[in-house]
Amino acid sequence: MALQTIDEFGRRLRAREVSSAELVEDCLRRIEADNPRLNAFILVMADEARAAAKRADWERANGIDRGPLHGVPISVKDLFDIKGTVTTAASAVREGLVASADAPAVAQLRRSGAVIIGKTNLHEFAFGTTNEDSAYGPARHPLDETRSPGGSSGGSAISVATGMALASLGTDTGGSIRIPAAACGLVGLKPGYGELPATDVVPLSRTLDHIGPLTANVTDAWHLLHVLRDRKPETPLAPVPVESLRLAVPRPYFCDLLDDDVRTAFERALDVLRAGGASITEVELPYAELIAPIYLHLVFGDAAAYHADSLDTVPEKYTPNVRLRLELARYVTAEDYVRALDGRRALTRAVTATLVHQDALILPTLPIVAPVLGASTVELGGSPQPVRNMMLRLTQLFNITGHPAITLPCGQAASGLPCGLQLAGRHGETDALLRVARAVEQVL
């Protein structure tokens, strides 16, 4: 898939080869053509988008340039408040709940001149990784409609992968930006915890939730990150020289269970980086086998508290699978939640210590390619593995620890479905991580 990037559009825009209005019409045409089969959007904001594009074109014609997102069509996961629209969270539970104001992240996009083109489908309440359970129906993978685009920000990934938008704003509680980005061949950035405001965004777990962009490349993710921070970068996005990269592969646990094609793509990427002069060392992260139990108890405790009232009053409004898992979440005890908090501290210390002498951890993003819709297990390592566990296996660690992490495309399986490579950087150094990612992107 040849994707138009924000950078490329900006160059053409400033050379007056194209207008924002033309690009928005192009995106709306793609939505009209492909959304009925892919189900990426819950709400298409065609009239508002046309008006915003016209305004952006007028501003530029009159010497006002708001920066790299000026006039760029961007989709927003339907967990973010957008003034005057229902924030559905892909659930009937939230029917009729119209937002009275934009979420700060959406407001910041608007201030930067971005054109909000619509609200995208997701796994109900972001509580799942396949986008199958949505009150608005499942979203479907652009390359194979029998497969999931990944989730929970599945509609966001589809919108960017098919040119319905040039970027999307998503959320990531256990991998919900990085998983669909990897499954659909995109870049997905989860910044550090608390780096971007998750205010007025329907939560899954306030202690694990992050917001961030899904984009065509690392440079576009850089643009979105800095707009959302409302701070211009101190320096431009210059890639780290590959020969000076210090990367660590945490093989035990993280490479134990991988689809053969995913493993081949990952090892090929490591070979390319080594050939370019990068230093790649192998490390072992303590407590790795406890990542899933720690994550589960944290997200369950937080989600159970948020959903308790609606589970008691309108349980029939949830999709059956999400309702069942939320009911399960209510059985986590306070003492086990506190044990998970203790485990979280141990994991955070372990990742931080590992990164002291490294630029980034490098690992696959997903152990499998996009799964078939409706499949509860996938064959891996000679036995059936739960799809949900496999989807979260390699991403949830960095939600627990809060370290910034990014996925970028890393080749394809024999089926043609994309594979993703994940990089995780030091706390407070998301810009540095993006410089590493840009270097890796250039050589892959």
Partner 1 sequence: MTIERWLKQALEDADRRGLPQLQPLLEGLALSTQALREAAFGGRANGPTND
Cα 310 to chain center, whole Å?
Answer: 27
- Out of 54, 110, 229, 325, name the contact with partner 1 by CB under 8 A: 325
Binding-residue total with partner 1 (CB under 8 A): 24
Considering the complex, what minimum distance in angstroms separates the CB of residue 349 from partner 1?
A: 10
State which of residues 7, 25, 336, 429 lies at the interface with partner 1 (CB under 8 A): 336
Q: Does 338 bind partner 1 (CB under 8 A)?
A: yes
In angstroms, rounded to a whole number, what is the distance separating the alpha carbons of residues 73 and 220?
13
Q: Using CB under 8 A, which of 71, 149, 151, 343 touches partner 1?
A: 343
Judged by CB under 8 A, does residue 327 bind partner 1?
Answer: yes
What is residue 144's three-state secondary structure?
Answer: strand
Q: Which of 21, 184, 294, 433 binds partner 1 (CB under 8 A)?
A: 294
What does DSSP assign to residue 73?
Answer: E
Rounded to a whole number of angstroms, the minimum distance from the CB of residue 85 to partner 1 is: 34
Residue that the structure tokens 């499942």 belong to: 138
Q: Contact between 346 and partner 1 (CB under 8 A)?
A: yes
Query: Is residue 292 close enough to count as binding partner 1 by CB under 8 A?
Result: yes
A 10 A CB-CB count for 89 gives 27
Closest listed residue to residue 444, CA positions, set 245, 237, 241, 269: 269
* Region binding partner 1 by CB under 8 A among candidate stretches 29-37, 89-97, 243-251, 334-342: 334-342
Q: How far is the CB of 171 from partner 1 (least distance, A)?
A: 24
Q: Is 333 in the site for partner 1 (CB under 8 A)?
A: yes
Options 30-38, 208-216, 257-265, 292-300: segment touching partner 1 (CB under 8 A) = 292-300
Give Cβ neighbours of residue 239 (< 8 Å, ≥ 6 apart).
435, 436, 438, 439, 441, 442
If binding is defined by CB under 8 A, does position 314 make contact with partner 1?
no
Closest to partner 1 by CB, 144 or 336: 336
CB 221 within 8 A of CB 406: yes
Q: Which stretch binds partner 1 (CB under 8 A): 34-42, 286-294, 366-374, 418-426?
A: 286-294
Cβ density class 180-211: b for 16+ within 10 Å, e for less = bbbbbbbbbbbbbbebbbbebbbbbbebbbbb
Query: How far is 110 from 114, CA to CA, in rounded Å?
Result: 5
The Cα 179–Cα 173 span in angstroms is: 11
Q: Which of 340, 387, 406, 421 binds partner 1 (CB under 8 A)?
A: 340
> What is d(CA 396, CA 391) in angstroms, rounded to the nearest whole number?
9
Segment lying near partner 1 (by CB under 8 A), choices 127-135, 230-238, 323-331, 401-409: 323-331
Kindly state the tokens that stand for 100: 């009275």
If one asks whether residue 397 binds partner 1 (CB under 8 A), the answer comes out as no
Largest CA distance in the chain: 63
CA–CA separation, 27 vs 94, rounded Å? 28
Which residues sit at the interface with partner 1, rule CB under 8 A? 287, 289-290, 292-294, 296-297, 300, 324-325, 327-328, 331-333, 336, 338-340, 342-343, 345-346
